[in-house]
Structure 1
């Protein structure tokens, strides 16, 4: 009898689960609205209760093949922070001429419970839907939802129609919030051959099926009718409908209870690159009565295909628009390094980056030069062309930007950015990116520092090049303080930012007024600034130097007749940035780095040193980095010397536990205090 009850209970649970997992637009339940937190992750601010997408190809005699994406989703908002997931930005392409993508059949509703426990619907009207232009061809339809509350459920349904049949948008399984149920189906015609490549750390094995179907092609046929007598010939036309058999290949991805892959820890880079999904890429065609074509088999095939594009290789060949200016610029120089530096600075100073990343030009290099603004390809292909014109061995370097992930297999989608690479006489390589005014040779901006790039020669041949600088980002702090008899701390600190740290400092702070920088420095370090000076902000050849005189009453603690002070003062790292039990994606420091701290503390009269922290030297495995820390008792002075060095810009996830423990020991040591006792 007990076994029968258990079996019946399991059947009942499975039936309830089955019915609960059927979703239909407009059929939001009270249970969904009353749910206060996501059962499998109580920290989630929101969750996709259901996310469905169907992608298929439709053939019309006037339009040819089009890609149709039908999307339906239901989202539960648990907290106010979850409201961020109630704004949707749907990108689409709309050129000035030719075919455009279209977003249609938008249905969107906010659901809430009123005081009587009844479901109230707020439909999204046109005033909540906005069209935004992001570039000449690219647009975004932004959809916002009204009357959002903690506990709201929202639904969105729309159709995207695209004439660009070579593109199937990437499938996304995982997000920063959990997914209760996911259903994606992609159906492609046998004439178009797509490769499917997994991305991220969450995989779904698709169910593959083949459906036999057909399309009808309507052909116009000219007809001539002859009759007796003058003018007896009539020319007309009829339409002949030909039905062609065609197979459709379908991949269905289904999953439930997909965990979130959050980016709430530091040093993430791009969480999107590590979240589970599938990239689709057209790798060949097999049209009837035609020779099959194959694309992108190897990295050389990929780069040759990109190079042949009118928006890439041909743009490098254009020179007339800049000849006079470059001739005048380098007229008095015969040294390649001088010419390199002058042309690089010329482009940085005269052509402003418009914020759009691409490996292809949009309006072309000539127009970008005249307008003094362009996307990343227009600026850096222009730079490469100018360097070639000046006699340097310059070639474009294809890059996958941070948000695009790491290109692990040959694919055109693997690259979305381009920089310039110059091979010098000694075979060394110099990398340049003129989109960033504060960048230097071999010091690319953070968005381009993503493992390796692919250097492409004039013939389309290619090789890998390391994008990271051989020099560590460097920050060196020197602090000298004196503790007065009144226990006030006065001091001077000098910080030197070099290499990538200098670029990062300039990007973050060069546009900010000194008085605002002083205010930030005071708030961040809990002190008062008496004098503040920055040196070399605009001189990119030198490190940035920050000199500060300060006063503080909060850097030491008095308990009885003893004083307690942290040797690193306001530089102390007081918390471990790595808190997850497990991290499945790399720790991205952007650059290898070293941080040196040298502190001298003069103790007040009438006090003696009771204890100082013991020295520490620890290392990460496989030469990934180390930390050295030593406090020296010098009588009336105490000196600290510490060095934190990480030798890799990217720390793979298998080292996460070691890195977490490393930082735990570092924090524990830095928060140990010097103890001074009153004599």
Structure 2
């Protein structure tokens, strides 16, 4: 009888109704949450955020920011078990530390009609030092099974009001309902930014009088807001994208002004005019940019006396590339010293590119620094200055009325190219005379791949011939690095990549590691399968895409290749028409993306004893909007199919 009563009480607590729907607007677990084990809107989901809730407010007693967090997650299969591993990141600086309290976590399972409730124990909560400024509080919910529902809640306490708690409405699993409540005293004024382009189903604000008081009777009103989103798809990262934080649906806060009860006012967010002035006098970057350099201490007289400015700039650029090594550090606002760089021959991004800037400037070339945020770092905010958004510095050179963007951290780059990591749409040109401004950072030319294969079937019925390839732009960059860093390993990798080919007479014909292209040639012997009188031959010894990189049901963020490009493959097969006859050639294709933004052209023809095949793939845009995704997905599928299933059938006479 006691067991029956206990079961009844549990079922009552779970809101007794036997429905097959998730209860998505409550933290309380229901039978619907437990009994529903599929999610029709996304059959690939391993787990489901049924309900997420946050509430941030300033405590009236200690003026610290408190954030209450509650989450309810459905585990759909074993691949979703990792959602039971929870990490809470806490920030600390000096004696000021974030804390977490009131951790409560529970796993619910439905077994033989009974609800089994398993509580997280205090001893199973662990603290781990992540680095000097971060601590992790970690725990794993117990008794996880397929079909489990987990809930956990906690309160995070932060003394850092400059960093008001931002909120993600989207994650790597689908979310049914997500609500965030905030209460912000009038002492703190924030710029509030909604990121990701998703619509709020709730967006309300009201004023609460005298929500915060001090001991002398002064008080402040609070702005209380409620934000909510419903039915958010999972955000799944895929190839050809910049940082997910550019597109993840969330709300962010940037402190603009603090007004104390004593009348003091601190401005944190400034205008670009103010930032330009402060940047110019900054002890690291600003002062380093204005340092003069004695050219004769670093450059030979031939370079110094060169009259052709473009040639001089090229030579100085090459000098910095070859003599100074980037240490991999992105801290562009710290430890910037031209003196130390020259002494140690190694330094961070700012040091190397500021040295380049100063050498060019002393040589009479018009140069300016450009701040940017790399692809992995996310877009820099354009609405107002957020200097912490920037993590990289390059140089703009204006030579003979033509603009060049330069980065000397990579000694394989050509003059006028910047690393792929810098292709993040735009940067901030720091012009100390006329004021800073936004500039577009886009490659001036397309990157291309060319392959030309010419083979023949000889008297011994073996297929052999030559392949010549050429890559330009960003396609050439990685190949140059692979080859010039270890040529033997490069050739070995090439041979392993094509196990059905014997490669010989390999040769690179481009002009060194800073050449604008990478050209190679080699002889091949093709080991095809002997099927009697028939020869089946796939003409694509080299494949541009081995598989379709686009696999999502839906993609809500842009497809960002970084640059426009073209792939071109030509194939020529010669044979003795007295011995062989053509039975079948691959089907020709001509496929275009909408608005002429890309095309696949595949042609085949036979002329006497020679077969000609050509494949050309063109991407006319560097960035495609999300609405292009289904077309690009089908486009790539056709490319893979052409390369994989195009067969030439010859028959012996």
Q: TM-score, normalised by structure 2?
A: 0.80
Residue 221 of structure 2: aligned partner: 247
- 1:480 to 1:66, Cα distance in 2 relative to 1, 3 A: farther
1:175-234 Cα shifts (integer Å, max 9, x gaps): 2211233222232221222222222132224221222235454xxxxxxxxxxxxxxxxx
Q: How does 1:328-477 map to 2 (within 5 A)?
A: 328-329=298-299, 332-334=302-304, 335=306, 336-337=309-310, 338-339=312-313, 341-342=315-316, 345-346=319-320, 349-356=323-330, 360-365=332-337, 369=341, 376-377=349-350, 379-381=352-354, 383-406=356-379, 409-413=382-386, 415-459=389-433, 461-477=435-451
Post-superposition offset of 1:289: 7.5
Map of 1:494 onto structure 2: 468
Separation in 2, partners of 1:130, 1:570:
49
**Is the aligned partner of 1:319 residue 2:317?**
no
Q: d(CA) in 1 for partners of 2:67 and 2:277? A: 27
Find out whether 1:211 has 2:208 as its counterpart: yes
- Structure-2 residue corresponding to 1:41: 42
Residue 246 of structure 1: CA displacement? Answer: 0.2
Deviation at 1:281, TM superposition (A): 2.4
d(CA) in 2 for partners of 1:128, 1:491:
64
Instruction: Tell me if the contact between 2:303 and 2:316 (Cα under 8 Å) persists in the aligned partners.
Output: no
Q: Which runs of 5+ in 1 are unaligned?
A: 1-10, 218-240
Verify: 1:271 aligned to 2:267, yes or no: no
Cα distance in 2 for partners of 1:147, 1:557 equals: 59
Distance apart, 1:512 and its partner CA: 6.6
> Please, which of 544, 561, 565 is the counterpart of residue 593 of structure 1?
565
Aligned to 1:52: 53
More displaced 10-residue stretch of structure 1: 242-251 or 392-401: 392-401
1:626 has 2:626 as partner: no
Cα distance in 1 for partners of 2:603, 2:264 equals 72
Deviations 1:522-543, CA, capped at 9 Å, x for gaps: 3466545456555669622352
Map of 1:502-517 to 2, 5 A cutoff? 502-506=476-480, 514-515=488-489
Distance 1:582 1:212 in 2: 45
CA distance in 1, matches of 2:140, 2:412: 40
**Hey, what's the Cα distance between the residues in 2 that align with 1:602 and 1:200?**
55
8 A Cα contact 1:108 1:154, kept in partner: no
Residue 333 of structure 1 aligns to a residue whose secondary structure is: helix
Following the alignment from structure 1 to structure 2, what is the Cα–Cα distance between the partners of residues 561 and 71? 72
Identify which of 513, 518, 522 aligns with 2:492: 518
Measured in 2, the distance between the counterparts of 1:206 and 1:254 equals 7
Residue among 26, 40, 43 paired with 1:22: 26
1:568 to 520, 527, 540: 540
**Aligned equivalent of 1:231:** none
| Cα distance in 2 for residues equivalent to 1:523 and 1:110 | 50
1:155 CA displacement? 5.6
1:132 has 2:133 as partner = no
Structure 2 CA distance, aligned partners of 1:68 and 1:345?
Answer: 54
Give the whole-Å Cα distance in 2 for the aligned partners of 1:363 and 1:546. Answer: 42
Structure 1 partner of 2:8: none
Residue 475 of structure 1 and its aligned partner are, at CA, apart by 1.4
Counting matched residue pairs gives 627
Cα distance in 2 between the residues matched to 1:153 and 1:351: 52
RMSD after superposition? 4.4
Matched, 1:602 2:574: yes
Q: Which runs of 5+ in 2 are unaligned?
A: 1-14
Structure 2 counterpart of 1:104: 100
2:646 is equivalent to residue 676 of structure 1: no
Q: Indicate conservation of the 8 Å contact 1:567/1:674, yes or no.
A: yes
Matches within 5 A, 1:470-485: 470-483=444-457
Matches of 1:324 and 1:210, distance apart in 2? 62
Partner SS, residue 476 of structure 2: helix
Q: Distance between the aligned counterparts of 1:275 and 1:486, measured in 2?
A: 60
CA–CA separation in structure 2 for the residues paired with 1:551 and 1:566: 14
Alpha-carbon distance between aligned partners in 2 of 1:145 and 1:620, rounded to the nearest angstrom? 47
2:181 to 174, 182, 185: 185
Greater shift, 200-209 or 101-110, is seen at: 101-110
Q: Which residue of 2 aligns with 1:141?
A: 136
Supply the distance in 2 between the matched residues of 1:367 and 1:80 (Cα, whole angstroms): 56
Provide the rounded CA distance (Å) in 1 between the counterparts of 2:37 and 2:595. Answer: 46
SS of the residue corresponding to residue 304 of structure 1 reads helix
Partners of 1:128 and 1:145 within 8 A in 2? no
CA separation of 1:163 and 1:41: change in aligned 2, threshold 3 A: same
SS at match of 1:431: strand
